[in-house]
Amino acid sequence: MIPGDYYVQMVTATIPANFDITQKDVSGNTMDTKDSDFNPATGKSDNTNLTSGENDLTWDMGMYARTLLPIQLLELNSIEKQTRGIHLSWKTLNEQNTLEFEIERKYSNDETWMTIGKTPAAGQSSKELTYAYSDATYAQRDKIYYRIKQVDVDGAFTYTDIKGIELKKNSQVKLDGYPNPVKDLYHLTITGAKDDKVSIDVYDILGRSVSRKTLSIVKGSNYHDLNMGSYTPGTYIVRVSSAEINESMTVVKVD
């Protein structure tokens, strides 16, 4: 490679087909290699109009890629519905200057993605790493989509592929309640198809557990009061679950 100073600007985490490189030779003369002149198959420039120096400049594209990419592999592995939420896992390889991962969710009829949580990244690692996150705040819809956004320390970011999970409405139980919005007591009605033992969980909008109770229900209507008077105003998810039940509803707490 011709010695000198090199200035490379990159705006995404992947190597583009077109880019500009400005090179200065040892005498300080500027040589402009335009994007249309670079041949990725040979790793050389075919530019014949350089201001100074030789034609057919050769670039070390392997080193170029390693320098610019904050992560070599980012893959959303699996989505699995579990008793206390939807469990996501993803893996990375060769992290460089990674900051965090943002978990994004979208329902089938939504146009925009919503960030529902964040997980710190390793920062520097040459190994394959696996991360996990459980979404306990999802609503019962026909299908939910997820993706992971990896953010670099410099603010650059990239996404995993998008994966969805089908949710079937559970006919074993029906939830209802009032008032909504609520100030103090929320009167929850659980209508079950059979006798069962259920967990009643309350989560805030970030998926953090606020309260958890175990309740035995009988076939038919069951009533339970949730004291939300001490809760911080905001949106909460009330989830009723058992081995065969996984139902939730959104409740808004006000002053």
Least-confidence region, from 69-78, 89-98, 120-129, 201-210: 69-78
The tens digit of pLDDT for each residue in 51-60 reads 334 444 343 4
- What pLDDT does 247 receive? 83
Q: Which residue would you say has higher pLDDT here, 35 or 172?
A: 172
Q: What is the mean pLDDT of the chain?
A: 76
Q: Taking 70 as the threshold, does the pLDDT of residue 48 lie above it? A: no
Q: Taking 80 as the threshold, does the pLDDT of residue 153 lie above it? A: yes
Q: Taking 50 as the threshold, does the pLDDT of residue 33 lie above it? A: no
Other CB atoms within 10 Å distance of the CB of residue 32: 13
Other CB atoms within 10 Å distance of the CB of residue 35: 11
- What pLDDT does 171 receive? 56
In this structure, what token pair is assigned to residue 91?
């893996």
| Burial of 164 per CB tally in 10 Å (0-12, 13-18, 19+) | middle
- What pLDDT does 11 receive? 35
- What pLDDT does 250 receive? 87
Residue 204 CA: distances (Å) to CA of 112, 171, 222, 246: 21, 25, 24, 17
Mean pLDDT across the stretch 109-122? 91
- What pLDDT does 68 receive? 52
